[in-house]
Chains A and B, each alone.
Chain A
Amino acid sequence: MSRPWSATAGRRVATVRRASDDRAASLGGRSWWVPWAVMAVVIVASLWIGAGAPGATGVGLSRLTSGAPVVRPATPSARISHLESELRCPSCADLSVSQSTEPSALAIRSYVVHAVQRGATDSAIVGFLESRYGPSILMAPKATGPGAAIWWVPAIAVVGAVSAAVLLFRRRAASAPAKVPSDGDRELVRDAMAGWDGRR
């Protein structure tokens, strides 16, 4: 003889409630922040690795212009390619000189080739071009001076947004009504189940 449906359902409800209570206890305890911490670590690691990868324009240039150690390409032609990818075509919207065939980009390419052949350092080459065209000649803004704002403003915005979201969720959770069913709730469920059993 099979068990009445209501008994099975009741057991299922009880099981789900127990699991839910366990999860709630776990999240309400000290381990709630673990998934967030893992996510933060993954994001930071991805950004760090991505920005430091060979050919990553932003970090390459910020290193180049901030004076921090740069892993120099081995050959002069690799240096030339690297520099050309980090310098903006002056008369284009958003292309590097390596991507453009505008006369101004060709002139800069020619200058870079001759300067590298002369033995000029990367920072000397970039510094000269910056003295002629201004900081906008760099594909990525400098990590120093006023241009650094473009790096730290988004970081502050992200941290602020995440903090605000955490505060908001916590406040909502605190002000939410208790999840323990009242006697009235229990009575309603009991009546509903009794009605269901009666129909079967």
Chain B
Amino acid sequence: MTALRVTAGVLLVGLVAVAVAFAAQPSPGAAQASSPLLGKKAPPLSGPYLAGAHLKPSQFRGEWVVVNFFASWCVDCRIEAPALDRFAAQHPPGSRVAMVMVAYADPAQAAAGFLRLNGGWPAIEDPGGQIALDWGVREPPETFVVAPDRRVVARFIGPVRASQLDAVLAGRVS
């Protein structure tokens, strides 16, 4: 009877230890995903700024561009926002790294509200979802990294971490 109790106790402690180990693991972040666009020229990225101006494809010549598809209704986008904020702070304007947000199936007012709360990054509207279609986006958040030569070099599905973006840039930026 005592042996049975000891065995049950050991099993219980083991289960609790495994559960704690899983719970304590850091979030794995976004999954780097394949895309038919990888290694190919980035699709055009132009549209009305949520702030009112207009984004032109020529605007980011010679810069790395991080393109993030987001929506105010997307929970993972809220989870991701602090990481993007950190990344934007590490790469201020003039650092050869630009960030462009694309509102995915989101009314302009709601998307602008999301950006006001989570970070004032440059963002454009995508009425009709044709920019997302051009980039092969399935659902937000999705993040692409475009090299200065306009080739798409990485795609992340889910909430991306600043360290994941930095790793892509570190491997590529000379």
Q: Which residues of A contact B (CB under 8 A)?
A: 90-91, 102-104, 106-108, 110-111, 129-134
Contact = CB atoms under 8 A, between A and B. Distances in A.
Given A132-B135, A132-B136, A134-B136, A104 B36 contact: no
A131 B135 CA distance: 10
B105 interface: yes
8 contacts: A91-B139, A103-B104, A107-B133, A110-B128, A110-B130, A111-B130, A132-B37, A132-B134
A103 B132 CA distance: 10
Q: How large is the interface on B (under 10, 10 to 19, 20 to 34, 35 or more residues)?
A: 10 to 19
Contact of A104 (B37, B132, B134): B132
Main secondary structure of the interface of B (DSSP, over half): loop
A131 B129 CA distance: 17
B135 A104 contact: no
Nearest to A114: B130
B136 A91 contact: no
B80 to A, nearest CB: 17
A134 B34 CA distance: 9
A83 B105 CA distance: 23
A111 B35 CA distance: 20
A107 B35 contact: no
Given A103-B104, A110-B128, A132 B133 contact: yes
A104 B139 contact: yes
B105 A103 contact: yes
Given A103-B104, A103-B105, A130 B132 contact: no
A116 to B, nearest CB: 15
Nearest to A137: B136
Given A110-B128, A132-B133, A104 B138 contact: yes
* In the A-B complex, the 3 residue pairs with the closest CB atoms: A107-B129, A103-B105, A132-B136
A150 B110 CA distance: 44
Which of the listed residues A90, A108, A132 has the most CB atoms from chain B within 10 Å of its own CB?
A132
A133 B129 contact: no
Contacts of A131: 36
Nearest to A89: B138
A104 B35 contact: no
A133 B136 contact: yes
Contact of B129 (A104, A129, A130, A134): A104
Contacts of B34: 134
Contacts of B137: 90, 104
B138 A107 contact: no
Contacts of B36: 130-134
Interface string B112-135: 000000000000000011101111
